[in-house]
Structure 1
Amino acid sequence: MPDEVDVEAPSEKRELREHDEKHCRCYKPKGSLPPLTPVDDIEKPSLQKSTYYSRVTNKYSTQKIVKEGQKPIKKGFRTLRDECLKANKLYEDPEFPPNEFSISFQGITRRHYEWKRPHEFAKDPHMFIEGASRFDIQQGELGDCWLLAAVSNLTQNPRLFHVVVPRDQGFTHMYAGIFHFKFWQYGRWEEVVIDDMLPTYHNQLVFMHSKTDNEFWCALLEKAYAKLYGGYEALRGGNINESMVDLTGGVVEMVDLRNPPSNLFSVMKKAYRRAALMGCAIEPDHPQVQSESILPNGLIVRHAYSITRVTEVDIASAAPKLQGKAELVRLHNPWGNETEWTGAWSDKSPEWATISPEEKKRLGLTFDDDGEFWMSIQDFASNFTTLEICDVTPEVFEYDNDSDDESSSDEDDEEGHRKQQQNVQRRWQRLMFEGAWVSHHTAGGCRNFIQTFATNPQYTVKLEDPDEDDDDDLCTMVVSLMQKNVRQLKRYGADYQPIGYTIYKLPPEMEPGVKLDTEFFKYNASYAKVPFFLNCREVTTRFRFPAGYYVIVPSTFEPEMTGEFLLRIFTEAKRLKSSAS
């Protein structure tokens, strides 16, 4: 976990305080209370970066709801395209105009950009040249490798890729200068319509683009994503888990590689077979290390990588002691250049001489300066610090059967797409709740603030029918808490605040669905909770619980920090019943 850092409140700058008696003992009982012992159950924040607690005021939320209600119904892509074709004109997006304010929050850019349509600076433009590939992607001047790494993964799943990038558009048939994309936003898929005017400098695209000069799906996808969040500058800096969720509607679980599970390779291999998106990064031990600095081994710190394959290879060495299997991971640097890992199993390293030509053919092995390289699972775990796995949920498309069988093949087709992706078991059942922390009403802070903690929203969940594939009578539950609309408000100074949740097991004598009060929380320890309150968009944790009723209490770290949230609960159990209190 990152070190704790100073935070700044709007009215004063102070360090996160050490919890004194008042804050850490949850108040001692007075008078003739029942002979119960107050619990000492202290939450801790872990800030991922220097930040401040942003206040999204209730007044703003009210105005937003009123304005949303006054907005006219938006016309869809096909309606707008038909209107343009009928009027014989090219579409101009009134919501995302071609000016400096669409690039920079302040309307100030370091050079003058010209917004041009592809046919104005490229010969014979196309949406795709021989399909979409992770090798198409080239990062431009924008620091959004966290988006590029997720898009790189997405290209390996054509079915899901074309949910995000619909096929019904291009530069030939019915071209009208209009394109559309779909992103998952807080529980629903949202269509984003744009024109094809792109920022250029000396007739060259300045942000995300394709390696092929007349291919434009990359640049248009990034523009639509920038519009979704209010401008290109809103995409500077981020976590790959955000973009993976926005591109799939899935749920991301983080693996701390500083303390990896003993079955790490098995976890990654099964995730790969499930068509999960995977990304990783290196967080240096010292915060003074500059972002995207290159280490002597060729890896880049604070930089998002995508994981494009997980497999085993047979070692056919003449020396008997060297024979066996090697567990390998293939990674892709979205820069798409020669900046690659230089250790064992890197391009042209001697380890490749120990495998047969048949194995090399199966892997589709190439040694190009394309940003893609292989590592052993041991080197991967010892050099990277975080692994994030995004499982795709059933609402996007359904799968037929289970591909976690160890005998199943993990071969890719000629385009690098996973052959097993059409045979992935529908994995999760989902519950979803939208809520808000409202000042003086439902913004009670974590349980350190015991007098207000009970005012937070509470959600009662019943788990029953334990998983069929275990013999310990436990139910798997993944709980994900997401802050809403924060990146959209970056231009107004908003930033992520530390969030988390606490889970309580309801005693048999208590009626489910009744809101728990302060007295309950004083004398009942939590059953489970997040390890830390994190200042990131989404906090996700996996639990294994006995059957029963559980109350989930999502909160900010401190009271009176307001905002909207989305709570998602995933389970592998057959049935999941719930209520909100």
Structure 2
Amino acid sequence: MKLGETHPSSSGTASCQDFKEIRSQCLADGKLFEDPEFPATNRSLYYKERPRNRLKWLRPKEICENPQLFVEGYSRFDVQQGVLGDCWLMAAVANLTLHRNLFYQVVPNDQSFDEDYAGIFHFRIWQYGRWVDVVIDDRLPTYRGNLYFLHSTERNEFWGALLEKAYAKLHGSYEALQGGLIHEAMVDFSGGVTEKYLMTSLPDNFFTILLKAYERNSLLGCSIKADPNTRTAKTPAGLIRGHAYSVTRVTYVDFKKRGRADKIPLLRLRNPWGNEDEWNGAWSDKSPEWQFIPKSEREELGLTFSDDGEFWMSFEDFVSNFDRVEICNLNPDSFNLEECPEGCTKKWEMSVFEGKWIKDISAGGCSQYPDTFWKNPRYTVTLKDPDTDDDMNECTIIVSLMQKNRRSQLHQGLGLLAIGFDIYRLPDHENVPLQFNSIIYENCVGCTENFNHEREVSQRYKLEPGSYVIVPSTYSPNLEAEFLLRVFSEMSNNMTENDEDVYMSDLDDRVKNMSLNPEPADPIRDLFDRLAGADGEVDWQELKEILDYAMKEEIAMRHGVNAWGEDPQEQNCLKQLLCSLCTTIYKKIGIAKLWELMQQEPLQQEQVLLNQPQLRELEGEGFPEKVCKRMIAMLDKDASGSLGFKEFKSLWIDLRQWRAVFRLYDTEGHGAIPQKHLRDALHSAGYTVNAHVLNVLAHRHGSRYGIRFAEFIVCLVRLKTKIGETTIRYK
């Protein structure tokens, strides 16, 4: 990753910004940095809803004296939510402060308001498989001289406000952060994989899951859903509905009362508002339960009682009062084992693939659409070894599917899609690519419980060793998006795309029958000889003239064999049809009316012929320059930039066959192949491709109208050239 690189979809036009280069230039010029990619204007604040107050952008040195990035280090208490409804982000930022290695990964310590200050800062945020360095200037939205959004308890501390601005830039505006789920930000600050649990359907060992997650440096968050039937957001127990909290500690405590000793499961939580709105039940601040905990243990817990938004509660009360828990399991590259808590000696094994759902190509919808489901991308994951401590000899895996860049497209009206996945056991004898049939469907071993409109959906499974196929999809077909698929396992796993190899296959028999004479007609040979001259070769311009002539000849030559070598059988059928039509009209209206119709001015012959579907492949200026140049490059073995007649003859055979394929799949007669038929059309032309190659071809050469003839020829030229460069099959 280059420092300053912004994610390409964050704004659509963002350029690469190098933090060190920009800072050095600003220092040399004696200027403070002003970010052109995220200016101090209203468009960086909102895309739809205007702020209630008139805001002013100020630099920290204009807000207070002696601004600092950190005041006496950093802690979860530095995070105070502002006017923006991004409590989900605040909860994740508070969690981030508990993990030193992660914190300095996100907030680099090579910047300050003192040495080399130039009004520029940078933060690293994980985005869909890579760490992105986001560069910002330090102008912040204020109201009456105070920070309007995230702020610290210390007026002159700014790391939190600047991090929030970097996150807003990544998503296009501050308003884009309005409303979200904790796990989104936890993933962006760690690169981890999340699990989500609803309190209505918890596993029996849920506290153990929480405890192990905490011991393995996982990030934890929870929330209470809003109640539409009540005006007040605050519950009698002091908790806030529709609000997100950080889980900052999970532990057992020794409880000794009247000679009885128990271990009580407790959790420590924090409200990102950082005020007096705290839990007021058992184990809350100054509750009587704490007097039965040994003093040494209270000190070890760092127990304090103040209106700071942090509080303790029992696991039982936690389950009763909250609705949702989110766990972010850390990417194995996110931390070092030496920095983990005592007893943490393992990391997850991870496999990652990126993909796309493209309309009519690879966006097949969920399994409820069996006619198109097979079009979805597919991935084979092989699990060889069971978990070391598993009595059932099974393997633990967590499958995560994430849709990319949707939050940054909210201003375009593009929200989150409903996404999910299915998992199928692959029979030992089954070869790739997987063919969906009743046997495969019966081997479904797991699927997303619900297709949710969330950025990431994930599920934990216990599976027997073996090979499995994961099929990610949107709920409905033909919805386009990019995605990231990750598989975490305790033991090693191997994941590959479950798809075709790319190779030359047999030509479709129907095409063989449609392309008859392999020799160019005499007029074409004569034109080639005339243009080639003494050297016997034609360049791209002369090739274009020959091919354009051949197309026009098809219109002009209505008798005998035309320039493309096609016989007149079609013309004979047309004559028979016209005779039959005239006879029918004569019987209906009589000879006088028929003669009157025949006296009307007829259409020009060329106009009639051009309106016939089979002659609409090329429009305007004939064969485009890029097509002619690519065709020459495909056959130009001596790199002369021209073709001899032997090479031209080989091209002629290809073009006639490819043109026959095009006509076969231009089913509507509109001069274009529907994208949903592109894979079949390529196969008929003798080329088998995988989903990745198909997606690339459709993206580069398709349009809303499908694949035009010239672009179809380019596809085939690229395939023939590429496959001709190597003797191996590749995925």
Shorter-chain TM band: 0.7 to 0.9
Give 1:441 deviation, angstroms: 1.2
Distance 1:156 1:479 in 2: 26
More displaced stretch, 135-144 vs 465-474: 465-474
Residue in structure 2 matched with residue 431 of structure 1 by the alignment:
351
Alignment correspondent of 1:545: 463
Q: Is 2:434 the partner of 1:515? A: yes
Secondary structure of 1:193's aligned partner: strand
Q: For 2:429 and 2:296, how far apart are their aligned partners in 1?
A: 64
Matched, 1:499 2:407: no
The question of whether the paired residues in 2 share the 8 Å contact of 1:399 and 1:423 is answered with no
Q: Distance in 2 between matches of 1:426 and 1:488?
A: 35
Change (3 A) 1:98 1:423: farther
Structure 1 residue 89 corresponds to structure 2 residue 27: no
The whole-number CA distance in structure 1 between the counterparts of 2:14 and 2:247 is: 41
In 2, Cα distance between the equivalents of 1:541 and 1:392? 15
Q: 2:239 — aligned with what? A: 299
1:49-94, Cα deviation, whole Å (9 max, x unpaired) = xxxxxxxxxxxxxxx89x97x976x231111111111111111100
Return the match for 1:393 from 331, 334, 340.
Answer: 331
Q: Percent identity?
A: 49
Moved more, 533-542 or 262-271: 262-271
Aligned partner of 2:205: which letter? N
Amino acid at match of 1:352: W
Map 1:402-441 onto structure 2 (within 5 A).
420-421=340-341, 424-441=344-361
Query: Which residue of structure 2 aligns with residue 249 of structure 1?
Result: 191
Deviations 1:15-66 (A, max 9, x none): xxxxxxxxxxxxxxxxxxxxxxxxxxxxxxxxxxxxxxxxxxxxxxxxx89x
Gaps of 5+ in 2: 1-7, 500-731
- Larger deviation: 466-475 or 559-568? 466-475
* Alpha-carbon contact 1:278-1:390 (below 8 Å) kept: yes
- From 229, 247, 260, the counterpart of 2:171: 229
Task: Verify: 1:110 aligned to 2:30, yes or no.
Answer: no
Larger strand share, 1 or 2: 1
SS in 2 for 1:112: coil
Change (3 A) 1:125 1:573: same
- Secondary structure of residue in 2 paired with 1:500: strand
Partner of 1:147: 89
Mark the CA change 1:162 to 1:545 in structure 2 (over 3 Å): closer, same or farther. Answer: same
Paired with 1:579 and 1:423, the residues of 2 have a C-alpha distance of: 36
Q: 2:450 aligns with which of 532, 548, 567?
A: 532
Sort the Cα spacing of 1:474 and 1:208 in 2 relative to 1 into closer, same or farther, 3 A: same
Matched to 1:515, the amino acid is L
Q: Which residue of 2 aligns with 1:354?
A: 292
Deviations 1:86-132 (A, max 9, x none): 11111110000001111010483322111010001211000000111
Correspondence list, 1:292-371, <5 A: 293-317=233-257, 319-321=258-260, 323-371=261-309
Q: Is the 8 A contact 2:383 2:492 kept in 1?
A: no
| Residue 272 of structure 1, CA deviation | 1.1
Letter in 2 for 1:81: R
Q: In 2, distance between residues paired with 1:395 and 1:382?
A: 36
CA displacement, residues 256-307 of structure 1 (integer Å, 9 cap, x when unaligned): 22222222222211111111100001225x55456x8111111111211000
Q: 1:467 to 1:107 in 2, by over 3 A?
A: closer
Distance in 2 separating the partners of 1:357 and 1:422: 23
Structure 2: how far apart are the matches of 1:571 and 1:357? 41
Question: For 1:527, what is the secondary structure of its paired residue?
Answer: strand
Question: For 1:52-201, what aligned pairs fall within 5 Å after superposition?
Answer: 74-106=16-48, 108-201=50-143
Asked if the contact 1:187–1:249 (Cα under 8 Å) also holds between the matched residues in 2, the reply is: yes
Larger radius of gyration: 2
8 Å Cα contact 1:505-1:549 kept in structure 2: yes
Q: Please, which moves more after superposition, 568-577 or 548-557?
A: 568-577
Q: For residue 549 of structure 1, what is the amino acid of its counterpart? A: S
**Cα distance in structure 2, aligned partners of 1:577 and 1:495:** 30
| Deviations, residues 180-237 of structure 1 (Å, cap 9, x unaligned) | 0000000000000000000111110000011100000010000000000000000000
CA RMSD of aligned residues (A): 1.9
Deviation at 1:520, TM superposition (A): 5.6
Partner secondary structure for residue 516 of structure 1: coil
| Mapped pair 1:561 → 2:499 | no
Q: Is the 8 A contact 1:466 1:474 kept in 2?
A: yes
Is residue 214 of structure 1 aligned with residue 156 of structure 2?
Answer: yes
Is the Cα–Cα contact under 8 Å of residues 105 and 124 in structure 2 kept in the other structure?
yes
1:398 Cα offset (Å): 2.6
Task: Report Cα offsets for 1:335-367 as digits up to 9, x if no partner.
Answer: 000000011001111111212222221111111
1:480 pairs with one of 367, 380, 400: 400
Range that drifts further, 220-229 or 325-334: 325-334
Query: Any idea what the Cα deviations from partners look like across 1:444-499, whole Å, max 9, x if unmatched?
Result: 11111111111111111111111222132211111000011100101111111211
Report the residue type matching 1:320 in the other structure: G
Q: d(CA) in 2 for partners of 1:320 and 1:426?
A: 39
Aligned residue number for residue 576 of structure 2: none
- Matches of 2:310 and 2:426 in 1, distance apart? 50
Name the amino acid aligned to 1:370: D
CA pair 288-433 structure 1, distance change in 2 beyond 3 A? farther
Report 1:14-53 matches (<5 A): none
Q: Distance in 1 between matches of 2:173 and 2:393?
A: 49
2:691 corresponds to which residue? none
**Residue 278 of structure 1 aligns to which amino acid in structure 2?**
L
Q: Is the 8 A contact 1:398 1:426 kept in 2?
A: no
Give the Cα separation in 2 of the matches to 1:577 and 1:462: 6
Q: Deviations over 1:555-574 (max 9, x none)?
A: 11111111111111111113
Between Structure 1 and Structure 2, how many residues are aligned? 491
The one-letter code of the counterpart of 2:103 is F
| Distance in 2 of aligned mates of 1:211 and 1:151 | 15
Quick one: higher RCO (CA 8 Å, sep 6+), 1 or 2?
A: 1
Answer whether contact 2:378 2:497 (CA < 8 A) is retained: no
> Is the Cα–Cα contact under 8 Å of residues 100 and 109 in structure 1 kept in the other structure?
no
d(CA) in 1 for partners of 2:124, 2:113 = 19
Note the C-alpha offset of 1:420.
Answer: 4.7
1:268 aligns with 2:210: yes
Change (3 A) 1:80 1:426: farther
The whole-number CA distance in structure 2 between the counterparts of 1:354 and 1:509 is 63
Displacement of 1:535 in angstroms is 0.9
Could you tell me whether the CA contact under 8 Å between 1:463 and 1:577 is conserved in 2?
no
For 2:200, the equivalent position in structure 1 comes to 258
SS at structure 2 position matched to 1:544: strand
Deviation at 1:312, TM superposition (A): 1.8
Give the partner amino acid of 1:222. Answer: E
